[in-house]
Structure 1
Amino acid sequence: MARPRNRDYDELRRELVDAGGRLLATEGPAALTTRRVAQRAGVSTMAVYQVFGDKGGLVREMFLAGFERLATAFAAVPHTSDPIADLLALGHAYRANALANPHLYELMFGRPIPEFQPDAEAAAQIQPTFDMLIAAVARCVREGAFSLAEPADLAVGINALAHGLCSLDLRGALGDATEARRHWDRAFDTMVRGLRAG
């Protein structure tokens, strides 16, 4: 497949992904057409087809791009001697990524486009983000910070808490930025106290 030459390929891919995400978030699935996405990015419709193949390929890349950005945010979290602090830092990275990419968040975790279903390859590509959470939880259990439990099960609950908070936050249901952060901290403080060993 020939790549567009009028701008950097990775830059163009990102611009098209963001244009598609913003159309989906602001105008709904019906607005997500290759023509509208191309217009938003200032390129020809052919450029969308050259980069993604078709509209389905664009939606798939929007989905994967959201998780690529989440993985990058997780990878930037420093590793310290405190396993709980590191776990909470992942939570803050999750929230920061959601706030930075609200136009991709719903596609990552919801079904705004009913006909889109991640295939096995896409599912395998996004699994490392959840594996990083499991590893952080397993470390808390292993080092005695959390009561003995199956890390994967705990990770599901922690992920659900983070997702619920972020979904409310993105809709403005938690108040302003200061109030939202307070709700987030209080919820995770309660969770950690419930999970602490002893």
Structure 2
Amino acid sequence: MSPRKLDPEIRTALVDIAARLLAEHGAEALSTRKIAAEAGTSTMAVYTYFGGMSGLVREMVHEGFARLERQFARVRRTDDPVADMLVFGHAYRHNAKANSHLYAVMFGGQSLAGFSLTEDDRQYGRYTLVDVVGCVTRCVEAGRFRQADPLLVAHQMWIATHGLVNLELGGYLVDPVGADRCYENLLGSLVIGVGDTAEAMARSTVAANRRVRREVTSTPEAVGPRR
């Protein structure tokens, strides 16, 4: 008999259900029985598709970064690389909010089912910064940023945006210091700190905000689960 063909929709459903149960109910909710029951399949599916719970947790991490990468791919390259950089930040925030159930496990904050991040897993996550690093390089080449290590600057942007997102997801950023206002001021300070002028930064902020709905907050199939 030929082996049964695996169903990618079941695989995606198991990942989403596991991540949601974890985010909503904690590590004690992460069991093959509960995951399979919600997916309408048998507990054997977790082993068939992932080799066990540890493999499922790893897939949750990779799926989260895959969705972030697809979100970044929607950011257009324009003749205003600073505006492009700001749109990347908006894309990071939007992806985290749209996939908060996955975001909660992407950075190894919990030890689950014997799983721990490997260096390969972390490198998979770092790889999503490739386009951001390229954008920083263009900012330097355009004279908007002074000469600097693009990889280091991209990491500074990542660290700042990631910290803001954690507070945003936790509901801590409210008016008069809401998340959007904090984001613009935080990234604006960083951009000016690496060489841009306040006037040029203000123009880029306006340009970036005009692009957010089209390039970030709409939800085409390409940014959703893998098929």
Instruction: Indicate whether the TM-score tops 0.5.
Output: yes
1:125 Cα offset (Å): 3.0
Correspondence 1:157 to 2:147: no
Q: Name the SS of the counterpart of 1:108 in structure 2.
A: coil
Instruction: Give 1:59-138 correspondences, 5 Å limit.
Output: 59-113=57-111, 115-138=114-137
What TM-score, normalized by structure 2, do the two folds share? Answer: 0.78
1:2 Cα offset (Å): 4.7
Supply the distance in 1 between the matched residues of 2:17 and 2:75 (Cα, whole angstroms): 28
Supply the distance in 2 between the matched residues of 1:2 and 1:124 (Cα, whole angstroms): 33
- Which consecutive unaligned segments of at least 5 residues does structure 2 have? 198-227
Is the CA contact (8 Å cut-off) linking 1:3 and 1:51 kept in structure 2? no
Show CA shifts across 1:24-60 (max 9, x none): 1111112111111111222111122111110011000
More helix by share: 1
Q: Percent identity at matched positions? A: 43
Q: Which runs of 4+ in 1 moved over 4 A?
A: 1-5
Instruction: Name the structure 1 match of 2:183.
Output: 184
Instruction: Name the structure 2 match of 1:42.
Output: 40
| AA matched with 2:149 | E
What TM-score, normalized by structure 1, do the two folds share? Answer: 0.89
Show CA shifts across 1:55-93 (max 9, x none): 011000000000000000001111111110111111111
18, 21, 28: which is aligned to 2:19?
Answer: 21
1:3 Cα offset (Å): 5.0
Q: Name the SS of the counterpart of 2:59 in structure 1.
A: helix
Distance of aligned partners of 1:74 and 1:2 in 2 relative to their CA distance in 1, 3 Å threshold: farther
Instruction: Name the structure 2 match of 1:51.
Output: 49
Is the CA contact (8 Å cut-off) linking 1:73 and 1:93 kept in structure 2? yes
Instruction: Name the structure 1 match of 2:9.
Output: 11
1:184 Cα offset (Å): 1.3
1:124 Cα offset (Å): 3.9
Show CA shifts across 1:76-127 (max 9, x none): 1111111101111111110000000111112112422264322344334333
Supply the distance in 1 between the matched residues of 2:3 and 2:86 (Cα, whole angstroms): 44
Alignment root-mean-square deviation, CA: 2.1
Is the CA contact (8 Å cut-off) linking 1:63 and 1:107 kept in structure 2? yes
Supply the distance in 1 between the matched residues of 2:38 and 2:5 (Cα, whole angstroms): 17
| AA matched with 1:70 | L
Which structure is higher in RCO with an 8 Å CA cutoff and minimum separation 6? 2
Supply the distance in 2 between the matched residues of 1:51 and 1:31 (Cα, whole angstroms): 20
Supply the distance in 2 between the matched residues of 1:59 and 1:93 (Cα, whole angstroms): 24
Supply the distance in 2 between the matched residues of 1:88 and 1:123 (Cα, whole angstroms): 24
